[in-house]
A and B are shown apart, each in its own frame.
Chain A
């Protein structure tokens, strides 16, 4: 194990390389835009900007924790120390060349962030954390290359859109019309928070990434981009996993040469 070097993801194509980059915590995600803390907090909708964090228990220092070797080994996050609530940010990633896919988003989160609880569905990825920790992570997820204002949505509910065709501006469908393309500024603007509550003032999340640039950054295989069929290494890897699992289920002693 001492010599083990994490490889993160198999595959020979540009898509697989992007997947490796995003999952690898040593790779620094490229910052593409700036969103103010106030704006991000507004879109997430858990507290009013400037409002103190609500807590579900007293700070750990005041709580007097029992003697526990695990507690001694693991440094609590700032949110846990303070007793913050668990809150969420949820993303919907379009199938049309969004930078990351739901599984990439989850694996990226697991390798990069402590104390994140991430679920994966086909059309949305909830990420739950202590509130102040979440805001820090959310900022990275929205300001860097893993976010595209047009093909990624910040949506708490009524998330359908990932598989729908795009609108005339290249935007992903959003039944609640939380976001819109502002033709004047060329930017995507949120008028509502994650669950569709109108915001006091619109929040811009910047210009959509140009299509050719998006295709370079995406981790989605597509026949009109990089076809999955071309990545023989990845396909062979998956087939091998399936075969080994099958053999192990049938006769564990028959599995050789792993």
Chain B
């Protein structure tokens, strides 16, 4: 902790521009006016909602959206209904534009995660060669992948009288492969290859190729329409069925002989990697649903570390935005609770450059104090120093800028953002995500005592247990924290944490210049320019979704009446 009051340079804080635009007042003013803004009518988006509601109410004959029903006519908007800047961009949006129902990019991010299955090919190739005596060559391999690109979107390959899917509806479905073996990669048709050498900076590519070795993996993307209409558990089944059928076709096998079962077993189980695992009964969901996706997997899905490898803060912030949408908005906000309240809460981590300011403040502090990133092994004095300093800095900003305090008008928002800044800074200092999460928990305790308040009941419970559980399970052997997720018992009850935890993981590994955080296969699988969602620039993509400039997959216009 620094000995003097923290006042970094002049007023170069990153959030000030957004605050000025949000309120059109001096962010340091403590006084303002209320009740004069016209309620919901001050919002273009809500005005649009009212117009549509009137139209649709007539059409359906049932009363519909009517903000004048809010608290007996006291509508939202008794104060300024502030717009939000998408952090790291120049895009300003209304809060409504960040609800996933209103944002096609957010939907697509989730669909792209859910519809992905990684499946190894080595077991299948062993069966083909050793048990069936078939030759596997670059030619047969490319032929097989082409067959699967026909079959995976929903086409027949064996039987001669079958229904099939309209290619115009499922054009986002395909299969690609990757390997760590440059010679093998050279033999694969470029159209099917995720080329590690091309997609990643050189040092990251070397790390990834060494991790993958000579193994060959296929990345299957099921159609977005399947992701929209079925569940995550569908994906491995859909992929395995079409993989097995394509093997039969490509290698001229008997349909149904025992060996074919080996392909199915390999595709469905032995060589199959899901994005998320099955959840227990009390939160029952199938595989490839948000609750089963580990924090570190989300960090690896985010591709910012390919684009800005030297900026751990940027990488962490981009990853955090994905975690916020996936965990806070989809999982907690909808799967676990329903309604609309969680969006208001979740967006604090990726709007108005506030968390950005705290993270960069922390990174600067670390660089000055320790001479660079990931230079120090985790120790108690470091965690105490860095987490305390960043926490105090963050809290002081709220006290100095009343407009900032008003922007994060819920304590849970402030607690999430301040602790995220502290955790990211400790991660950057140590290159150790478990040290980072411990810094987060120290931040929560300090925050609670400074303001005499924190979040809501559940928020406080989780964060007052955290000191004790951050190093409690084999933390000296690896990074089990990276494998936690919203299914971790203490994390199952509250929004606003796991988004930041994704960033704490990402920051640690980016500070170390690691190519991935938890699973190299997932990192490579999402280095795919043909995905609809831009995993390298998620915040920009969410902004495009908010501006209605993002074109998703899964549109049904080909099979519905035109309007």
> B455's contact among A96, A122, A165, A167, by CB below 8 Å, is which?
A122
CB neighbours (8 Å) of B396 from chain A are 223, 227, 229
| Distance of A222 Cα from B30 Cα, bound (Å) | 13
CB neighbours (8 Å) of A8 from chain B are none
Interface size on B, residues (CB 8 A): 59
CB neighbours (8 Å) of A250 from chain B are 471-472, 475-476
Are A122 and B34 in touch, CB under 8 angstroms? no
> A168's contact among B31, B74, B402, by CB below 8 Å, is which?
B31
- Min CB distance B406 to A, Å, is 5
**Are A222 and B445 also in contact (CB < 8 A) when A120-B460, A121-B456, A177-B35 are?**
no
CB neighbours (8 Å) of B446 from chain A are 235, 238-239
> B470's contact among A95, A229, A249, by CB below 8 Å, is which?
A249
Are B406 and A165 in touch, CB under 8 angstroms? yes
- Min CB distance B490 to A, Å, is 12
A57 at the interface (CB under 8 A from B): no
> B410's contact among A101, A123, A248, by CB below 8 Å, is which?
A123
Within 8 A of B (CB), among A92-120: 93, 95-96, 100-104, 119-120
CB neighbours (8 Å) of A238 from chain B are 442, 445-446, 449
Are B34 and A167 in touch, CB under 8 angstroms? yes
CB neighbours (8 Å) of A246 from chain B are 380, 438, 441, 467-468, 470-471
Chain A residue at smallest Cβ distance from B75: A175
A147 at the interface (CB under 8 A from B): no
CB neighbours (8 Å) of A164 from chain B are 79, 405-406, 409
Are B33 and A167 in touch, CB under 8 angstroms? yes
Contact with B along A146-175 (1 / 0, CB 8 A): 000000000000101011111110100101
A220 at the interface (CB under 8 A from B): yes
> A224's contact among B72, B78, B399, by CB below 8 Å, is which?
B399
Interface size class of A (residues with CB under 8 A): 35 or more
Within 8 A of A (CB), among B370-387: 380, 384
| Distance of A234 Cα from B446 Cα, bound (Å) | 9
**Chain A residues touching B, majority SS:** loop
CB neighbours (8 Å) of B445 from chain A are 238, 241-242
Are B33 and A122 in touch, CB under 8 angstroms? no
Chain A residue at smallest Cβ distance from B404: A163
CB neighbours (8 Å) of A235 from chain B are 1, 388, 446
Are B468 and A248 in touch, CB under 8 angstroms? yes
- Min CB distance B181 to A, Å, is 41
Contact with B along A174-187 (1 / 0, CB 8 A): 01110000000000
Chain B residue at smallest Cβ distance from A166: B31
Which residues of A come within 8 Å of B, CB atoms? 19, 93, 95-96, 100-104, 119-123, 158, 160, 162-168, 170, 173, 175-177, 196, 219-224, 227-229, 234-235, 238-239, 241-243, 245-246, 248-250
Selected A-B contacts with CB under 8 Å, 29 pairs = A95-B451, A121-B411, A121-B456, A122-B454, A122-B456, A160-B409, A162-B409, A163-B405, A163-B409, A163-B410, A164-B405, A164-B409, A165-B29, A165-B30, A165-B31, A165-B406, A166-B32, A173-B79, A175-B74, A175-B79, A196-B74, A223-B400, A228-B392, A238-B446, A242-B384, A246-B441, A249-B469, A249-B471, A250-B476
Which residues of B come within 8 Å of A, CB atoms? 1, 5-6, 29-35, 71-72, 74, 78-79, 380, 384, 388, 392, 395-396, 398-400, 402-403, 405-406, 408-412, 414-415, 438, 441-442, 445-446, 448-457, 460, 467-472, 475-476
